[in-house]
Structure 1
Amino acid sequence: MSTRIWKGALLASFSVALGVAGGYWFAQQRMSAMPGAATEQSPRTQDERKALYWYDPMYPQQKFDKPGKSPFMDMQLVPQYVDASTNSAAVSIDPSLTQNLGLRLATVSRGVLASSLDVVGVLAFNERDVAVVQARTAGFVERVYAHAPGDVLKANAALADILVPEWAAAQEEFLALKRNGDADLLAAARQRLRLTGMPAALITQVERSGKVQPNLTLTSPIGGVLQELEVREGMTVAAGETLARVNGLSSVWLAVSVPESEAGTIVVGQTVEARLPAFPGTVLNGTVSAILPETNPDSRTIRVRVELPNPDGRLRPGLTAQVRLSRSTGQSVLWVPSEAVVRTGRRALVMLAEDAGRYRPVEVQLGQESEGKTVVLKGLEEGQQVVSSGQFLLDSEASLKGIVARTLEIPPPPSTAAAFHETDGQVIEIDSKEVTLAHGPFKTLGMPGMTMTFPLADPALMQGLKAGDKVRVSVSQTDDGLRVERLEKSGGQP
């Protein structure tokens, strides 16, 4: 009995051991069949992927061919892998998160864009509407009428009475010849009266009345503001002396200061609307009559002159006005909302929306801006969609991933010279497209010495150079990184 019990226990133990071993074997077979179940079974780890280049996330435009410490920041360079490069040209966002991130899109539109500019202006006298009153001959001031500078006068308003003794004798001779009836002598005497400065109306009055009238009443030739009155009773005046100055008020000038950046959009004849705080709700219409040639060196503005009619005389010099300068070229242009443009300081970008929640930065060339719209001269097409809100978040994400917008081929102005940064180095390897240099520090960039590969601005730079040559290198900063502009052998080297 005991022997049978012992054999049964031994058989049970063997079965349990066989079951455990079998279960372990089947479990191992199942795990090995699952993809990525074990680390050693993974086809490729992150470290096994091929790195295209290394970059600093804070300065993604510059690419390095080897890992190491960033020359710009106190951090290690980050690798950009081959399998990540397929989506490196765009930032991908789940469409369901678009609303949560506050992203708004706008369509690139085409149409006629009417430009307008709001500036401030000040009313001033029309300096072309000025009358100067002078003494035609020497005399004495007998009376000054009750006027003072600043008074508003009507046309032909009396200013002062002048006694001219010389006229008395000439008029006596004229009247005597008239009584004699000699027509030739009378004509000569009348001409003499004109030469003494006597007005034609006064000569006619003497001839009709037959009485000597040696007094002259000075009057204002036009209606306006009396600016100067230089006569007093009893004073002596000389021929040609300025006695009064009157500025007309039939029209006034509106002096407008326009920023120099907008000077190219202003033309003579352009429509102007002016609103004065002194007359709420009133809109005055005028046109640009002149663009003055000088620029204010302090405010960097140019002066634009607008002539406004003033039939009722209520526009007084010194009043301020809110001015809107409007202009339409009539040409159809592409435009986007101004808020969609990201200005980096060196170029302008927009975030272009693509299918499946992908966004990529695009460089654009901008034109004029008006009323929240900016003209796009190059870089976009009609019907495309750009991000008008939340684009700075996408731009930051693109920078962290090293996504750089393709540079537009816009020729720089002839007067613009690129800033070069120079140092000494030694050629490690060179071909028609790029050169690998062991260079010293670029002090103007704050960049330490290292071994780097740079693109060549011109394939001709490699002529006469080979590995091992010591050179003087000049680089320029582009949107894609540093580029070699000049490469010359150092002095004393054969």
Structure 2
Amino acid sequence: MSPIRSLTPAHLALGAALIAVVAGATGYGLAHLGKAPDPAAQAPAGGRKVLYWYDPMVPAQHFDKPGKSPFMDMQLVPRYADEGPGAASGVQIDPVRLQSLGVRYATVERAIFADELTAPGVLEFNQRDVAIVQARANGFVQRVYGRAPGDVVPAGAPIADLLVPTWGGAQAEYLAVRRTGDPALEAAARQRLRFLGMPDGLIEAVAQRGRAQTVVTITSPIGGAIQTLDVRQGMAVNMSQTLAQVSGLSTVWLTAAVPEAQAGQVRTGAPARVELAAFPGEAFTGRVAAILPAAQAASRTLQVRVELANTGGRLRPGMYGTVHLSGAAHPALSVPSEAVIRTGKRAIVMVAGAGSRFQPVEVQVGREDGDRTEILAGLNEGQKVVASGQFLIDSEASLAGLQAQPLSAAPATPPPQPQAALYETRGRIEALTTDSITLSHEPVPAIGWPAMTMTFKLGSPALAKGVKVGDRVAFRFEQKPDGPVVQRLAPVAAQ
């Protein structure tokens, strides 16, 4: 066992110095162990500046330092300055991935949009074509002709035979006056019979036969469907008692329910195309006869009445149909409808940029026509948008925390007014004034008009010079809110 050596003062001083050095180093290390790392120190050797860190599953939440996500068991991901909107906006996707996603592109371009409105409707009887059959005197029903409500009868069809006893004496007096040979007295006697309610046909029959006729046949003045029939054999009837009501079937009404927000697009006289479930693939043409003045409070719709010709009686009241009301066509910015992502609160389009970058852009959409959607604001003509695969790209943008470019808050400059579309056809002049012209014209396929006779306004009184009623002319017109206006008019040589 070695002997214990005594420590000199020099040894003690050296040991104290060593202890101080070790303690200082340990304290420095502990202090730096609890200090948060500098974000700039976390930047890679390439020198890319970090804006913030985020959880890819919750991209809206930003953090000022790296670490583990408080939401998921994963590390936060840095967002670099060269990936933000300030440098090259949008999310960048590898071209190989784009090809595997089958991404297709489309160009923002102008397309022709027609102001077409579609609404459901139901067929009804034309309430302007109704006949009321009444008894003209007190009498008795001597005979009925087997009619029933719902039967379709022609004009002049017999309804019932009435025996009117009070007419016998008046007719006998008329015959006695007639035998006097005095034309004035005979005319007065005839007038008295008319006042008693006798039709001219019955009076003439009495004059020809020379004897009283107290049985008269009540007939339908128009052809159509019997709505009510209140006559039975042997019953007594009073003067002015309604025996039957007949509704004509030569024309019918289709009453369409147009949403209140779209009612401004409808005008009286506009052409209409009607499709009925009973006749698939067939269209019936008509015109807007009236826009009823009151809106339906429950459905917030206006009732639009379309009058249709009922050739052959195929259109039956009660049938359901769809009416298409077309107006003027105008060009407008548009994209394929499949390119628009509708979130419920807004509409978004993925705009393709350089370097396989994509930027979600909020847009304001308008009408739809076929497979294209009108763009009112948010895009410019010529931009390239994603038409297929945009949902996957939108998911990538959401994971990257990229926000959609909002619509500009500044007041938008009004779009240039489109040049009015002119439609051309031929017709015959039926009436002509200095400011209007009535034409029986040929069909206008561009706006779905059939051949018809209608009145147009003249764009200039000079157009009426050199033409007259009966001339055949070629003309061009434009659709305006207050009706069509002829802008060009030229005679056509007779063929």
Give the superposition deviation at 1:144.
1.0
Runs of 5+ unmatched residues, structure 2: 1-36, 412-495
Task: Compare 63-72 and 261-270 and name the one that shifted more.
Answer: 63-72
Amino acid at match of 2:168: A
- Paired residues of 1:118 and 1:324 also in contact (CA < 8 A): yes
SS of equivalent residue, structure 2 residue 313? coil
Whether the 8 Å contact between 1:112 and 1:328 is mirrored in structure 2 is no
CA shift, 1:396, in A, is 2.4
Q: How do 1:113-152 and structure 2 match up within 5 A? A: 113-114=113-114, 116=116, 120-152=120-152
Q: How many Å separate the matches in 2 of 1:310 and 1:69? A: 77
Change (3 A) 1:242 1:113: same
1:15 corresponds in structure 2 to none
Structure 1 distance, partners of 2:381, 2:182, is 91
Aligned match of 2:254: 254
Post-superposition shift, 1:197?
1.6
Q: Which residue does 1:404 correspond to in 2?
A: 403
Contact 1:117 1:370 in 2 (8 A): no
Q: Name the amino acid aligned to 1:354.
A: G
Letter in 2 for 1:198: M
1:335 is aligned to 334
**Secondary structure of the structure 2 residue equivalent to 1:99:** helix
1:80 deviates by 5.1
Instruction: Report the counterpart of residue 45 of structure 1 in structure 2.
Output: 42
Deviation at 1:352, TM superposition (A): 0.9
Structure 1 residue 180 corresponds to structure 2 residue 180: yes
CA shift, 1:304, in A, is 3.7
TM-score (ref. length: structure 2): 0.64
State yes or no: 1:360 paired with 2:359.
yes
Worse-superposed segment, 43-52 or 269-278? 43-52
Q: Shift of residue 246 of structure 1?
A: 0.9
Counterpart secondary structure, 1:123: strand
- Quickly say closer, same or farther: Cα 1:359–1:142, change in 2 above 3 A: same
Matched ranges for 1:199-238 at <5 A:
199-238=199-238
Residue 154 of structure 1: CA displacement? 0.9
Residue 84 to residue 316, structure 1, CA distance change in 2 (3 Å): closer
SS of alignment partner, residue 140 of structure 1: strand
- For residues 302 and 57 of structure 2, what CA distance do their matches in structure 1 show? 41
Query: Once the 2 structures are TM-superposed, how far is the Cα of residue 223 of structure 1 from its aligned partner?
Result: 0.9
Tell me the CA shift for residue 215 of structure 1: 2.2
CA distance in structure 1 between the partners assigned to 2:54 and 2:302 by the alignment: 46
Give per-residue Cα distances to partners, 1:387-419, cap 9 Å, x unaligned: 11121222222233232233324699xxxxxxx
Secondary structure, aligned partner of 1:160:
strand
Letter in 1 for 2:251: S
The unaligned stretches of length 5 or more in structure 1 are 1-39, 413-494
Deviations 1:314-347 (A, max 9, x none): 22233444x3615252321111111111122332
Residue 360 (structure 1) shift: 0.6
Residue by residue over 1:149-208, the C-alpha shift from the partner in whole angstroms, topping out at 9 and shown as x without a partner, is: 111101100001112222222222222233334554444333322222222222233334
Q: How does 1:306-321 map to 2 (within 5 A)?
A: 306-321=306-321
Equivalent AA in structure 2 for residue 395 of structure 1: D
- The answer as to whether partners of 1:350 and 1:363 remain within 8 angstroms in 2 is yes
Q: What code does the residue aligned with 1:366 have?
A: V
Give distance in 1, aligned partners of 2:121 and 2:274: 8
Within 2, Cα distance between the matches of 1:115 and 1:246? 39
- 8 Å contact from structure 1 (residues 225, 248) kept in 2: yes
List per-residue Cα deviations over 1:358-387 (Å, max 9, x = no partner). 111122222111212111112212221111
SS in structure 1 of the partner of residue 222 of structure 2: coil
C-alpha distance in structure 2 between counterparts of 1:406 and 1:230, whole Å: 72
Aligned to 1:171: 171
Q: Please provide the CA RMSD for this pair.
A: 3.9
- Give yes or no for contact 2:258–2:304 (8 Å, CA) kept in 1: yes
**Counterpart code for 2:178:** K
Q: How far, CA to CA, are the matches of 1:164 and 1:46 in structure 2?
A: 114
Amino acid at match of 2:243: L
Contact kept in structure 2, 1:131 and 1:221, CA below 8 Å: yes
C-alpha deviation, 1:270, in angstroms: 4.2
Q: Given that residues 131 and 221 in structure 2 are in contact (C-alpha distance below 8 angstroms), is that contact kept between their aligned partners in structure 1?
A: yes
Equivalents in 2 of 1:215, 1:72: separation in Å?
A: 99
Paired with 1:44 and 1:329, the residues of 2 have a C-alpha distance of 65
Q: Percent identity?
A: 55
User: 1 CA distance for matches of 2:197 and 2:55?
Assistant: 89
Secondary structure of the equivalent of 2:380? coil
* Separation in structure 2 between the aligned mates of residue 384 and residue 349 of structure 1, nearest angstrom: 14
Name whichever of 392-401 and 291-300 sits farther off: 291-300
Pairing 1:463-482 to 2, within 5 Å after superposition: none
| Cα pair distance change 1:371/1:73, threshold 3 Å | farther
Stretch of structure 1 that moved more, 264-273 or 247-256: 264-273
**Partners of 1:115 and 1:369 within 8 A in 2:** no
Distance 1:55 1:287, change over 3 A: farther
- Secondary structure, aligned partner of 1:198: coil
The one-letter code of the counterpart of 1:156 is G
Residues 269 and 342 (structure 1), Cα distance of their counterparts in 2 relative to 1, 3 Å cut: farther
Maintained 8 Å contact 2:115/2:329: no
CA 88–367 in structure 1, closer or farther in 2 if over 3 Å, else same: same
For the 8 Å contact 1:114–1:326, the answer to whether it is kept is no
Residue 43 to residue 70, structure 1, CA distance change in 2 (3 Å): closer
Which segment is superposed worse, 155-164 or 88-97? Answer: 88-97
C-alpha change, 1:272 and 1:212, in structure 2 (3 Å) is same
Letter in 1 for 2:407: L
Task: Describe the superposition over 1:47-104 as per-residue Cα deviations: whole angstroms up to 9, x where unpaired.
Answer: 9986657878778678899999999999999875544424573111122322211211
Paired residues of 2:153 and 2:224 also in contact (CA < 8 A): yes
* Structure 1 residues 83 and 98: alpha-carbon distance in aligned structure 2, compared to 1, 3 A threshold: closer
| Aligned pairs for 1:315-464 within 5 A | 315-321=315-321, 323=322, 325=324, 327-409=326-408
1:312 aligned counterpart, secondary structure: helix
Determine if contact 1:106/1:386 at 8 Å carries over to the other structure: yes
Kept in 2: contact 1:116–1:371 (CA 8 A): no
- Report SS of the residue matched to 2:289: strand
Rounded Cα–Cα distance in structure 2 between residues aligned with 1:399 and 1:292: 50
Looking at structure 2, the residues matched to 165 and 92 of structure 1 have their Cα atoms a distance apart, in angstroms, of: 101
The verdict on how the C-alpha distance between 1:355 and 1:189 changes in structure 2, with shifts beyond 3 A counting, is same
Q: Is the 8 A contact 1:115 1:371 kept in 2?
A: no
For 1:260 and 1:91, the matched residues in 2 are separated by: 42
Residues paired across the two proteins, number: 371
Point out the more displaced range, 283-292 or 60-69.
Answer: 60-69
| Corresponding residue for residue 430 of structure 1 | none
